Amino acid sequence: MPKIVFTGGGSAGHVTPNIAIINELSKDWDIFYMGSKKGIEKELIQKLSIPYYGINSGKLRRYIDIENLWDMLRVIKGCFEARRILKKLKPNLVFSKGGFVSVPVILAAKSLKIPIYIHESDMTPGLANKISQRFSTKIFTSFEETSKFFPNHKTKVIGSPIRSEILNGSEEIGRKFLDFDKHSPILTIMGGSLGAKKINEVVRKSLKQLTAKYQVVHLCGKNNFDDELSGYPRYKQFEYVHDELSDILAATDLVITRGGSNAIFEFLSLKIPMIIIPLGLNQSRGDQILNAKAFQEKGYSLTLEEEKLNSDTLLEHLNTVYKNRNEFEQNMKESQKMEALQTLVTEINKVKKMK
């Protein structure tokens, strides 16, 4: 049976697309994962009972810092660790979703002449994929605009790989799980796996106004559950949901989200109108801002900058999206449907014939 090593980490956004692909390949490939020793990818992948190898890796910075020296040494150490593991596994392919941990894996794979595929989710490539592109065999992107950053001869625009299970939820089961009725719209708020402090604060401050119109599902992030709001009418909060997410989203009428590419492409596939509150430049390199801008221009969402987020602006944006929800949904239906997951599976399966 052919072997494939996945890599990518640092955030759930670098892991969930890999999981989507893994689920499609599990019957035909021996699958392994290489990530950081303590990152979120370790927790998510080990739940799937996939062999996981943790390696050293440093943070990739775009600015001068004394820590860059130590992190460079960690990257070098990680390269040797990854090379030793890859020599033992002898995979047919390495597939990377980016994140700083992927760089040593890709450098090691290149030194062993193992084919390397990478996927870039965001409008502009992250530093890891900027470094990795020169060593890659093929590059896939979510956005058409992203392809200009990579060599044309090995780059293909395919969209973002969507977990098949996310598309198969049940509205009825979702409402039953939430104990919500059919008479009021459901608003789902997702601030990422760690939550979003400002979003959580504004949502909870605005609960009276929100629940007057909506039934609210609040995925608030790890350690952000507010016990004082437990049992609040028409409001359900969770730190994180796993198997129930597809059913919750099937019942959802509107969503408030960060601007991570994987999440917003999932909502696009589900035709759920969005308010995107991207991470600001003080918290990121600006990729979520560009993602949000692209989706707003295509008529899939409205953008609300976190610096302007308060109860008034939140309610104003919600009312606008809900009032025009049919238009947003129609724009989503007319969007170019890209079968990213099946495209990647097909491309990966071609590698079987290369060895």
Q: What number is the average pLDDT over the span 16-20?
A: 91
**Same domain flag for 11 and 136:** yes
Give the chain's length: 355
- pLDDT tens, 82-127? 999 999 999 999 999 988 899 999 999 999 999 999 999 889 898 8
Burial of residue 57 (CB within 10 Å: 0-12, 13-18, 19+) is: buried
**3-state class of 234 per DSSP?**
coil
Domain count, the chain: 2
Nearest to 292 by CA among 309, 307, 304: 304
pLDDT confidence of residue 57: 78
What CATH number did the domain enclosing 285 receive? Answer: 3.40.50.2000
- pLDDT class of 339 with cuts at 50, 70, 90: confident
Q: How far is CA 336 from CA 15, 28, 82, 144, 192, in A?
A: 25, 30, 38, 11, 26
278: which 2 tokens?
């991207």
pLDDT confidence of residue 200: 95
- pLDDT class of 354 with cuts at 50, 70, 90: low
Mean pLDDT of the chain: 91
Beta bridge partners of 53: 34
- pLDDT class of 64 with cuts at 50, 70, 90: low
Nearest to 260 by CA among 279, 273, 280, 235: 279
- pLDDT tens, 135-150? 999 999 999 999 999 9
**Same domain flag for 309 and 342:** no
**Same domain flag for 301 and 176:** yes
- pLDDT tens, 262-317? 899 999 999 999 999 998 877 777 889 999 999 999 999 999 999 999 999 999 99
**Same domain flag for 172 and 314:** yes
Q: What number is the average pLDDT over the span 249-261?
A: 95
Burial of residue 281 (CB within 10 Å: 0-12, 13-18, 19+) is: exposed
Element (H, E) at 321: helix 311-323
**Same domain flag for 195 and 297:** yes
Looking at the predicted structure, is the pLDDT value of residue 171 above 70?
A: yes
**Same domain flag for 42 and 62:** yes
pLDDT confidence of residue 193: 61
pTM score, two decimals? 0.84
Q: What number is the average pLDDT over the span 50-78?
A: 73
**Same domain flag for 72 and 106:** yes
**Same domain flag for 220 and 119:** no
Residues ≥6 apart with Cβ < 8 Å to 238: 217, 218, 219, 220, 225
Does residue 28 come out as left (phi exceeding 0), alpha (psi in the -120 to 50 range) or beta?
alpha
**Same domain flag for 27 and 116:** yes
**Same domain flag for 88 and 193:** no
Looking at the predicted structure, is the pLDDT value of residue 61 above 60?
A: no
250: which 2 tokens?
């099937």
- pLDDT tens, 281-294? 777 778 899 999 99
**Same domain flag for 136 and 75:** yes
Domain extent, residue 105, equals 3-159+338-354
pLDDT confidence of residue 60: 56
**Same domain flag for 100 and 170:** no
- pLDDT tens, 205-245? 999 999 999 999 999 988 899 999 999 999 999 998 888 99
Residue 59 to residue 78: CA distance in whole angstroms: 12
Q: What number is the average pLDDT over the span 46-51?
A: 92
